Amino acid sequence: MGPENETQISEFLLLGLSEDPELQPLIFGLFLSMYLVTVLGNLLIILATISDSHLHTPMYFFLSNLSFVDICFTSNTIPKMLMNIQTQSKAITYAGCITQMQFFILFAGLDIFLLTVMAYDRFVAICHPLHYMVIMNSQRCGLLVLVSWIMSALHSLLQVLMVLQLSFCTDLEIPHFFCELNHLVHLACSDTFVNEVVMYVAAVLLAGCPLTGLLYSYSKIVSSIHAISSAQGRYKAFSTCASHLSVVSLFYCTSLGVYLSSAVTQNSRYTATASVMYSVVTPMLNPFIYSLRNKDLKSALRRLCEREYMKSSVVLRLKMSP
């Protein structure tokens, strides 16, 4: 497209999930509820992990990091969507759009890396139980999380720098409820070949390699569980990784489903609706999956609630006393 059609843009328009005015209050209420549940559920896991000494183990250290990332993941997109519905505006500034895209890539990458690290933790715990505390020492756990942050940050920075090289024309409507990388690249009127190559190569490397690690870890875990002679021992070993396996399956199945469906269908609105599954629903369900299947975490949450109730009761009595 010729340079005469290019313009110095100041904002994009986020079309959201639907342009039907009658659906906006329903969408607002639904997403506000899911956002509050996500923040509260993941925050409770973080507080329980910090406050309970029984949960000061590598598995819960990684889980609290995952909960923090999930809070940030949803906070990057949903508040802006809710604000646009409330103000009846679809606009997002150019800088705001680029920033939102960068943090979305960052936290999505962190989700993938942390889930892989957690699979490695379960692999060591089940396949090498006698060496678990030596292998998964605090220094190694901290290093694994740090490397996850660095890799995700470098990837998001690379994608942002590539997008900043693009020129955009007069069509600035994004058929999504947040600034998604693929949609931004397709809006550009300059050559996007290099961007698409970098985008797909990065997707294969940063999603394919962790997925390979996950599959390898769980193949070894399954083999070790089958080698256990007693049924009770097999159940106990499987129960330690069942929650994580559920979360991994939910995240990868919904993510792959969205991107495979987007390759088949040209309906961008359908893709945007389907992306709600991995960007909103999965972070919301993670606390429930971990707490419902984990006795230690349920006990820690119960103790945390009891302590807070006792504190509030004492404060209330002191205020009421003369």
Report pLDDT digits (tens) over 211-240: 899 999 999 988 888 888 777 777 777 777
pLDDT in tens, 110-119: 999 999 999 9
pLDDT in tens, 31-49: 999 999 999 999 999 998 9
**Structure pTM?**
0.89
Q: For residue 301, is pLDDT > 80?
A: no
* Beta-carbon count within 10 A of 251 CB: 20
Q: What is the CA radius of gyration of the chain?
A: 22
pLDDT of amino acid 63: 92
Length of the chain counted residue by residue: 322
- Can you say whether the dihedral through the CA atoms of 145, 148, 150, 153 is positive or negative? negative
Q: Report the alpha-carbon distance of residue 216 to residue 229 in Å, rounded.
A: 23
In this prediction, residue 2 has a pLDDT band, given cuts at 50, 70 and 90, of very low
pLDDT of amino acid 5: 47
Q: For residue 200, is pLDDT > 70?
A: yes
**Rounded percentage of the chain residues whose pLDDT exceeds 90:** 48
pLDDT of amino acid 4: 42
Q: Report the alpha-carbon distance of residue 228 to residue 234 in Å, rounded.
A: 6
* C-beta contacts of 254-257 below 8 A and 24+ residues apart: 254/278, 254/281, 254/282, 255/207
* Beta-carbon count within 10 A of 279 CB: 25
Residue among 117, 127, 129 nearest 59 (CA): 117
Please state the rounded mean pLDDT for residues 257-276.
71
